[in-house]
Amino acid sequence: MVSKQEILGQKIMKRIHIHDKDQGGILSLTTGSQGSAKTSVLLSFAEYILKHHSTEKIFWSECYKAPLQIVKLGKGKYRFFVKNDVDIIFRDRDNKLKPTKIPITRFKDYDDLYKKAKMGKVNVVFFGNRLYWMEFLDYLRSVGEWVHIFIDEFGEVCPAYASGKSWKKIGYFSEDVLKDIRKCMMNVHVNTQSVTNIDHRARSKIMLKIFLPGAISDKHSRVTQAAIDNLKRDPIHGNPAYLDIRGEFGVVTFKDIYKPIKGFHIDAICNGGEREMSFILSFNGDKT
C-alpha cells in the first residue's frame, strides 16, 4: 500500500522536475549525515534533466581538493570548464596525486561560459574560487532560458560566519538573488551536511528541504526530528528522505545509487591558491 506521505513525496518530486513558468524556479537544500547520499540526490536530479530536458543547460559546482563527484554519472555525460586566467590542476588519486590531463574548455567571462556550455551535458565549472558561484547565479537570472544549477557542499559557496566584503556579498546574494529564484526560470539544488554551515540570510530563502538519514530538522519545518531519526539507510534499495516544501511534506526513496567509479579518482586544485574575494568584486562589477 502506498501511504499518504509517499503520494505527497511523489507530488513534490514532480514539482521539482516540472518546469512551469507560472510556478517558477525552485531552490532546494539537501541535508543529511556524512555519506547519507546528499551528493547522489543532486546527481539523480541532474541525470533526470539530461534524460528529460536535454535542451536545457546544466551547471555543476564541485569542491576543490576532493574527489570529483560528477564522474559517478559515467563518461560522456559531463564537460569541464576552466576560467581562462586560472590554473586548475587535476590530480590522480589512484596515482599518488600525480597531475593528470583531462579535456577542458576555457572561457573568459560569464557570457562566454554560457555560450560555450553544452546542452545534454553537465557543465562542470571552475572559477578558481567557489565564491564566484554567487555571481554566476546572479548572471544566470537574466539568460531567459531554463537553467539548472547544482552546488555540492553549499557551505563553501555561501559560508556562515563570513566577514567584511564576503559578508556583504553573501548578503546581496541572499536578499537579492536567492530571494528571486522562484521568479526565475532557474532550478538551484544545493547540499550541505548541516544547515548551520550556510549563512543564515541564505537559509531562509530555501523553498524545498530534503532531509536524508541523520539530518537535523529545523524549527521552521513540520518534519519532526523523531521522524528523521526513523529514516534507515538502505545501500541496496536507496535511502529514504523527507521532502518539505513550505509546510507540505512527504517521503521518497532515492533509488539511484551512485558509487565511485574505480580507476577514476580525480580531484582539482587551484595552483597558487584560490583567488581572492577582492578579485570577485571586480570580476563582474561591485554590486554590494
What are the residues binding ligand ATP (CB under 6 A)?
A: 32, 34-40, 193, 235, 238-239, 254, 256-260
The dihedrals phi and psi of 37, each to the nearest 5 degrees, come to 90, 30
259 binds, options ligand ATP, Mg ion, none, Cβ within 5 to 8 A by partner type: ligand ATP
| Partner from ligand ATP, Mg ion, none binding residue 34, C-beta < 5-8 Å depending on class | ligand ATP
Minimum distance, C-beta of residue 37 to ligand ATP, in the bound complex (Å):
4
Report DSSP state, residue 119: B
Give least dist CB 33 to ligand ATP, A: 7
Beta carbon nearer to ligand ATP, 25 or 32: 32
Alpha helix stretches (DSSP H) within the chain: 4-17, 38-52, 110-116, 132-140, 164-172, 200-203, 225-229, 277-283
Cross-strand partners of 268:
90
Residue 51, contacted partner among ligand ATP, Mg ion, none, CB below 5-8 A by kind: none
Q: Which is nearer to ligand ATP, 6 or 56 (CB)?
A: 6
Closest CB 213 distance from ligand ATP, rounded Å: 9
Q: Which of the listed partners (Mg ion, ligand ATP, none) does 254 bind, with a CB threshold of 5 to 8 Å by partner kind?
A: ligand ATP
Can residue 192 be called a binding residue for Mg ion (CB under 5 A)? no
Say how many residues touch Mg ion, by CB under 5 A. 2
187 sits near Mg ion (criterion: CB under 5 A) = no
The candidate with the shortest Cα–Cα distance to 27, out of 246, 238, 286, 230, is 246
Provide the CA 150 distance to its chain's centre, in angstroms. Answer: 3
- The DSSP secondary-structure symbol of 174 reads I
Q: Tell me whether strands 208-211 and 239-245 are parallel, antiparallel or unpaired.
A: antiparallel
37 binds, among ligand ATP, Mg ion, none (CB under 5 to 8 A by kind): ligand ATP
Helix (H) or strand (E) holding 250: strand 248-254
CA distance 44 to 188: 14
Instruction: Say which entry of Mg ion, ligand ATP, none residue 32 contacts (CB below 5 to 8 A, set by partner kind).
Output: ligand ATP
| Residue nearest Mg ion, Cβ-based | 39
Taking the complex as a whole, the smallest distance from the CB of residue 38 to ligand ATP amounts, in Å, to 3
- Among Mg ion, ligand ATP, none, the one that 35 touches (CB under a kind-dependent 5 to 8 A) is ligand ATP
Q: How far is the CB of 59 from Mg ion (least distance, A)?
A: 17
CA atoms within 13 A on the CB side of 229: 3
Question: Is there binding between residue 39 and Mg ion (CB under 5 A)?
Answer: yes
Q: Measured between alpha carbons, how far is 181 from 120 in angstroms, rounded to an integer?
A: 23
| 166 in Cβ contact with 134 (< 8 Å) | no
Asked if 217 is part of the footprint of Mg ion (rule: CB under 5 A), the reply reads no
| H-run or E-run covering 244 | strand 239-245
Q: How far is the CB of 30 from ligand ATP (least distance, A)?
A: 8
51 within 8 A of 45, measured Cβ to Cβ? no
Q: Where on the chain is the footprint of Mg ion (CB under 5 A)? A: 38-39
